[in-house]
Amino acid sequence: MESIQSIKQRFELIGNDVKLNRALEKAIQVAPTDISVLVTGESGVGKEAIPKIIHSLSHRKHAKYIAVNCGAIPEGTIDSELFGHEKGAFTGATQTRNGYFEVADGGTIFLDEVGELPLTTQVRLLRVLENGEFLKVGSSQVQKTDVRIVAATNINMFEAIKKEKFREDLYYRLSTVEINIPPLRERQEDIHLLFRKFASDFGQKYKMPTIRLEEQAIQLLLRYRWPGNIRQLRNIAEQVSVLEETRTITAATLNSYLPNASNTNLPAVIGSTKKESDFSNEREILYKVLFDMKGDLNDLKKLTLELLKNNDSEKVQEENETLIRKIYGSKEEEVSQQENTTTEVLHLPEPVAETTATVVQPQTEDRYHFAEEIEEEETLSLQEKEIELIKKSLERNRGKRKAAATELGISERTLYRKIKQYDL
């Protein structure tokens, strides 16, 4: 088994970070086996080095190694690229084509950005992982392949599974061994080493003296968060090497090449509190009004049934005076009218077992009036109820919009818009 140091020299890996060494150690240990490996880490950390190490140390090292960027292949053609297709399988398929899994038989396939695979392709890939079988596009003949799959992704796989963008069973088949590559900001001691290596390489490439950083520039290099990781560091080293005539780089000069250099290596804010939108507030009010109306109608049905079954109308009227006022309004003449019509309804010849607001069979003109009022209340629109709530709240708060909005659970801006809309 090769040592970590020899692997670093062979693949030109720079750094002595503990997490990086642990990742390389896991790659060396898992290489002789055929189990699948999932490499995780942010974009630009150098994940592509791990599958190369695994392939070169495995018994498949003399067979083919194919790297596939799943995010760069259009969704409509990725099945054809991976598994091949038969002639005439789709428009433009003028001849039979072998896919990567057939070409790499006996070797290793590196699926970069595997989290970008469409769900239909994920099903096909799961079958390959489980029993080594696949179907060409447009074919019904099952083919076998013997490949080692190493995948990589920079997305949070558990979030993708939660959002149903990635299959959970496929994740656990891919991540038999998971290797995480740490971001550059967590490898403080390696940042300057990497910059010096890149500066030396570009000095030789462009036949120019190698640039050197002053102490303050080094500190700035270490404090920067490097969102693009090693890829960004290499890009900065190349820019400075080509563009700067003075080969000793100051902090001010380096700062001009770093986007958002004021963002030092501080903990990032993960979450923030969001205010509820006006729409959600209005929706809550409408739900509340709707449930209140439903409760009122249910109470009215119970009251009507009691009135029909019980001849003691005055007692029922006293016990349910609050409900009657709530249903029919607060004016004394309206309550009096409801009492009269209620008394008349009591003298129906036969009480009914189940009563709703629309099954009462009145015989006089006043009784018809009572039934119509109940039916109109049942079909009362949400808009009218909303206007009534706003009016009552404004009266209770003496026209103060801010207090009324707080009571209604909406923003003052939304209340002002409602007042103009309903011309209150």
pLDDT digits (tens, 9 = 90+) for 179-220: 999 999 999 999 999 999 999 999 999 999 999 999 999 999
- Whose tokens are 């249903």? That residue is 327
Count of C-beta atoms within a 10 Å radius of residue 19: 14
Tell me how far apart the 2 most distant CA atoms of the chain are, in Å. Answer: 112
Q: How far apart are CA 240 and CA 255, in angstroms?
A: 11
The pLDDT of residue 298 is 79
For residue 346, the 8-state DSSP code is T
pLDDT band at 285 (very low <50, low <70, confident <90, very high): confident
Lowest-pLDDT choice from 214-218, 292-296, 401-405: 292-296
More confident site: 301 or 50: 50
Per DSSP, what are the bridge partners of residue 111? 68, 151
The pLDDT of residue 78 is 94
Judged against a pLDDT cut of 80, whether residue 317 lies above it is answered with: no
The pLDDT of residue 276 is 45
More confident site: 10 or 388: 10
Query: Percent of the chain at pLDDT above 90?
Result: 57
pLDDT tens-digit readout, 319-374: 666 666 665 555 444 444 444 444 444 444 444 444 444 444 444 444 444 444 44
Coil, strand or helix: which one is 283? helix
Q: What is the mean pLDDT of the chain?
A: 82
Instruction: Spell out the alpha helix ranges (H) of 140-187.
Output: 157-162, 168-174
Non-local CB neighbours of 407 within 8 Å, separated by 6+ positions:
393, 396, 397
Cβ atoms of residues 121 and 78 within 8 Å: yes
Provide the CB-side half-sphere exposure for 200 (13 A, CA): 6
Coil, strand or helix: which one is 274? coil
Q: How far apart are CA 232 and CA 237, in angstroms?
A: 9
Q: How far apart are CA 176 and CA 150, in angstroms?
A: 10
Q: How far apart are CA 239 and CA 241, in angstroms?
A: 6
